[in-house]
Amino acid sequence: MLMRLACGIEYDGTGYHGFQRQAESRGPTIQGTLEVAIGRIGGVATTVYGAGRTDSGVHASGQVIHFDTGDQSRLTPPEWMRAINAVLPDSVAVRWVTAAPEGFHARYSAVSRSYRYTVWNDPAPSPLRARYSYHFARPLAVDAMNEACRFLLGRKDFGAFGRSPEEGNPSRKGKPGPHSSVRTMLEATCWHEHALIFFDLTADAFLTGMVRRIVGTLLRVGQSRMSLDEFVAIVQRAEKTHPGSAAPSRGLCLVRVAYPNGLLQNDLMQPV
């Protein structure tokens, strides 16, 4: 009988070609790295499923994965954690492991994902923050960007900021459903601590590139290069052609995946 394990994963995405294993060999991925490590422990090829398909260079402190193992009699969840971490590279770590209930799926059981984008807003760069934040030397109006964030809240078409996984698939043309660009934004705030500016976004799901494109557009608002009315119009029109460009991937981190209350019992599953 198979046992399903859920794990909390933290990783430095620098040098990885995103979470998802690629059909073509473009370089290492987080999913592929985890599958090799877990396969070494269990002795069989194992498929890992993740809650969020982070892009190349994007980090995570709260990614959640699951995998199935038939070796439940040999290793307890804490032993699995220690064993996997012993063979993972330093850039990837398992933070917790727990037995998952029947039917649990890291991606499809999740009710929301939370991302944080970090900007180092100072005339001088910070070498110690360079891997995990975007250095933006020009002054930024945090209050104006936070005001713009209010217009991201709720259920709406976010097509201006990203694409769905099956966009461009002719078989989906004109068909509504899970592959549309409609999402529900539950939280959207911008705040700062001295020179660090944080963009915190929580939604039921995200489009590919959505957070980085939102942040890139908000930065124009923060520079007074885009008015609040212009930003609202971009959100409402949901058209991809607009002045905002995607912010660099190094500033983005998946910080939390939420599940229905009681589905996963683990003390480490706390909001950042």
> CA separation (Å) from 16 to 26, 53, 128, 255?
9, 12, 20, 18
Residue type at 89 in one-letter notation: P
For the question of whether the overall pTM of this predicted structure is more than 0.75, the answer is yes
Residue 262 included in any domain: no
Q: Tally the domains of the chain.
A: 2
Is the same domain home to 102 and 81?
A: yes
Residue 263 included in any domain: no
Residue 268 included in any domain: no
Residues 6+ away with beta carbon under 8 Å from 27: 15, 16, 17
143 counts as catalytic: no
pLDDT tens across 194-223, in order? 999 999 999 999 999 999 999 999 999 999
Residue 21 belongs to a domain with what CATH number? 3.30.70.580
Is the same domain home to 61 and 78?
A: yes
Residue 216 belongs to a domain with what CATH number? 3.30.70.660
Residue 27 included in any domain: yes
Q: Among 65, 89, 109, which residue terminates a domain? A: 109
Is the same domain home to 71 and 152?
A: no
Is the same domain home to 146 and 219?
A: yes
Residue 191 included in any domain: yes
User: Distance from CA of residue 180 to its chain's centroid?
Assistant: 19
Q: What is the pLDDT of residue 175?
A: 43
Q: Which of 55, 71, 200, 204 is catalytic?
A: 55
Residue numbers of the domain that contains 16? 3-109
Is the same domain home to 239 and 144?
A: yes
- Low-confidence stretches of the chain (pLDDT < 70) are 24-25, 71-73, 165-179, 265-272
Is the same domain home to 89 and 179?
A: no
Distance CA(77)–CA(84), nearest Å, equals: 11
pLDDT tens across 61-87, in order? 999 999 999 865 688 999 999 999 999
Residue 58 included in any domain: yes
Is the same domain home to 101 and 149?
A: no
Instruction: Identify the residue whose tokens are 């190349």.
Output: 56
Q: What is the pLDDT of residue 168?
A: 47
Residue 14 included in any domain: yes
Q: Where are the beta strands (DSSP E) in 121-181?
A: 134-135, 154-157
